[in-house]
Amino acid sequence: MSTASQRRQWFAERPYIIAIIITVVLVVWMASGLMQAQEIPNEKSEHSVIVPKVKVETMYAKIISDTVALYGRTEPDRVTTLKAEISGKIEQVLAKRGAKVEKGQVIVKLEINDLESQLSQAKALLTQREIEHQGALKLSADGYQGKVQVSSAAANLAAVQAQIKRLNIDIANTVIRAPFDGVLNTRYVEQGDYVQSGDDIAMIADLDPLIVRAHVSENNIGQLIVGQKAKIRLLNHENLAGQVRYIASVADDATNTFKIEIAIANNDSDLLAGLSSEVNINLDEMPAIKVSPALLALDEQGNIGVKTVEDGHVKFTAINIIKSEKDGIWLSGLGQQTDIITLGQGFVRAGDKVEAIFSKASNVNAALASKSE
């Protein structure tokens, strides 16, 4: 029997061998088909990934000053209430309410009554007491009088001298004068009124300079110095210039803030005390970029910043807000220039690959930045 015949007979006697071979071939064929089918969709999926487009603007920094904004009210530099030093009747009122007064100007006169006659009598008595004292000294030197008589004469002389001094003061106090330049804000008496010693006569306010008192936090107090310039905006939108004249060395226990005073020149006393004021003081200079508040974003930790594009990927950059203006806010921490996403930032996250579409404003900003340099 030939070898081929033997093989056919062997397979004929073992038909299950043929079935196994056929099964293995079918399995291999089906597996190869599935692998090819999987490779085709994968290739298609790689080509079908869409890279989002975002609008980007290159923004350039400018050197600006960090600003601290404070709030207070305008106040007089000093205020005093004039009081009667003696009792008497108001003889004359020589200054109107609201009038500007100068240092030494007479505000009110009281009646002198008999003070001048009392002074004349005291002066006459003084002459007599001086003669008596001189006589006592001479007699004592000659041995005719003792030390008791000399001491008595000296005491009588001193009493008259004290009386004259007191009368001169009383006469001077019948004229009440302004202690400094200012405005007669209030007058409490009229002609003919009778006042007792210690009664209020008038209140004078010194409005030059006008003062704004405010409180500064411990974070900013170290950046202020006496003489530093300040900008003041009143409630009526009037803008004024001033300067820091006083900085407290000890913080307020209740608020943990430091009191400062800003002086505003008010030569004609035209500015009023009691107006609400906003004070802006420039602090350190630094590079900052001005953006719209709509561009601000938060990261997963709650940090505030902006989304930028670097090497085709989104980057979250934390920032510090330096100051706010009507048309935008100034940010530090972005370097001299940066590419900020201005449209589409809400649909991408840090690390995402994006296609940056630069706006025409970037070229304009670049030109302005080169001119400023």
Other CB atoms closer than 10 Å to residue 53's CB: what's the count? 13
Tens digit of each residue's pLDDT, the chain (373 residues): 556 666 666 556 666 566 666 666 565 655 555 455 455 445 444 455 688 888 999 999 998 877 888 999 999 999 999 999 999 999 999 999 999 999 999 999 998 888 777 777 877 787 777 777 777 777 666 666 667 677 777 888 888 888 888 888 888 888 999 999 999 999 999 999 999 999 999 999 999 999 999 999 888 888 899 999 999 998 877 889 999 999 999 999 999 999 999 999 998 888 899 999 999 998 877 889 999 998 999 888 888 999 999 999 999 999 888 777 888 888 888 888 899 998 888 888 898 999 888 886 544 444 444 444 4
Report the distance separating Cα 344 and Cα 314, nearest Å.
11
User: pLDDT at position 108, please?
Assistant: 95
3-state secondary structure 44-112: HHHHHCCCCEEEEEEEECEEEEEEEEEEEEEECCEEEEEECCCCEEEEEECCCCCCEECCCCEEEEECC
Q: How far apart are CA 138 and CA 260, in angstroms?
A: 67
Residue 373's contacts (CB-CB under 8 Å, 6 or more residues apart) are none
| Radius of gyration for the alpha carbons in the chain, expressed in angstroms and rounded | 48
Pairing relationship of beta strands 53-60 and 337-343 according to DSSP bridges = antiparallel
pTM tops 0.75: no
